[in-house]
Amino acid sequence: MVEFNQKHIVGEPAREYEDMDDITRRTLNVINNATGEQNSPGPCEVGTAEKSNVELLDAYSRAVITVVEAVGPAVVSIATGTRPKNAESETGGAGSGVIIAPDGYILTNDHVVHGSKSLAVSLTNGTTHAAALVGTDPATDLAVIRADSANVPFATLGDSASLHVGQLVIAIGNPFGFQSTVSTGVVSALGRALRSREGRLIENIIQHTAPLNPGNSGGPLVDSRGRIVGLNTAIIMGAQGIGFSIPSDTAKWVVSQLLTLGRVRRGYLGIAAQQRPLSRRMSRFFNLTQASVVEVLSVTQGGPAAQGGIRKGDLIVAMNGTDITTVDMLQKFLSDWPIDTPVKVSVLRVQERLEIDVKPSEAGAHE
């Protein structure tokens, strides 16, 4: 126990207190970034040689901040069920959405708004607006609603076809009522197939590593320029670092159908499919210039494809002479092709190229 006496108090400290004063002085110098003694060890910090890497991380942080500040105002919280009478007391929401036009059109997930009797959207500026359902497409888990407001901030739908594995992406949403919750990651895979909560197979999904929460459903996945490249749709419960988004190219097509027709009218082949790279050997063997094809994963019994003779494992390379390289291209072709009109499907099967006549029916007729 240290004992203080009058001698210490009047300014004649013992030697150990002189040492303690020196330690305190040196500590204060270090805390205030003053020059230390030559023989003292240096601080544990990044050296000059490594500062270039730190500057890169700083640039990365600034890029994320810039994107969030630009896109954040277009991300909304969507509340379903009973419309809150007092907007200030509303703290939660069923999910997220992103405004895609200044007239209040909002893109979100079908499962966010499915079965709701009323809709309300909350913007980052604190205002809440009533919203109406424009249309839904359960096959892609997409929906469009319209807020009762005009001249609102909106985000741009980008080009998901230009995405590459390893590319930086930023997920923005409103999980559990927290506005502009942000996470970052990279694209880890393209062209995935995912079953929805209702058991539907959603094709051509973007897999990424940006952490998601359930409330992120309907929020945008954006690139480093702030363009929407996907719409967050699901997470695998219990898995770490696995998120999925619907490509923006799919969203563009679905939105155009919903705005013009009120529903998505598409031809139905009765297959599940995914994009697959085409090897150089097969390209040379079949004299093809395309880099990818659409692989048939399964064929629905009794469906148009089964009736025409398409099999599991077939590689679709063209429809009526039009090259097909992605599932999006196949869906778009079927949306433009007249229902119940035969179409010639070019497929690769082992070492043969076959031309198979298939008569697409309207999607939904077999459900």
**Any idea which residues carry the catalytic annotation?**
111, 141, 217
Closest alpha carbon to 348 in 287, 262, 266, 303: 287
156 close to 227: Cβ distance less than 8 angstroms: yes
Q: Could you tell me where the DSSP H helices lie in the chain?
A: 6-9, 15-31, 51-71, 110-113, 248-261, 280-286, 304-308, 327-336
Question: If you write DSSP's letter for every residue of 99-141 in order, what string do you get?
Answer: E-STT-EEEE-HHHHTT-S-EEEE-TTS-EEEEEEEEEETTTT
Q: Which residue type occupies 328?
A: D
Closest alpha carbon to 256 in 271, 266, 268: 266
* Dihedral sign for Cα atoms in the order 44, 49, 55, 56: negative
Task: Show Cβ contacts of residue 242 under 8 Å, excluding neighbours closer than 6 positions.
Answer: 188, 207, 209, 235, 236
- DSSP code, position 87: G
Q: Name the residue with tokens 């559990």.
A: 176
User: Both ends of the chain: CA-CA distance in Å?
Assistant: 84
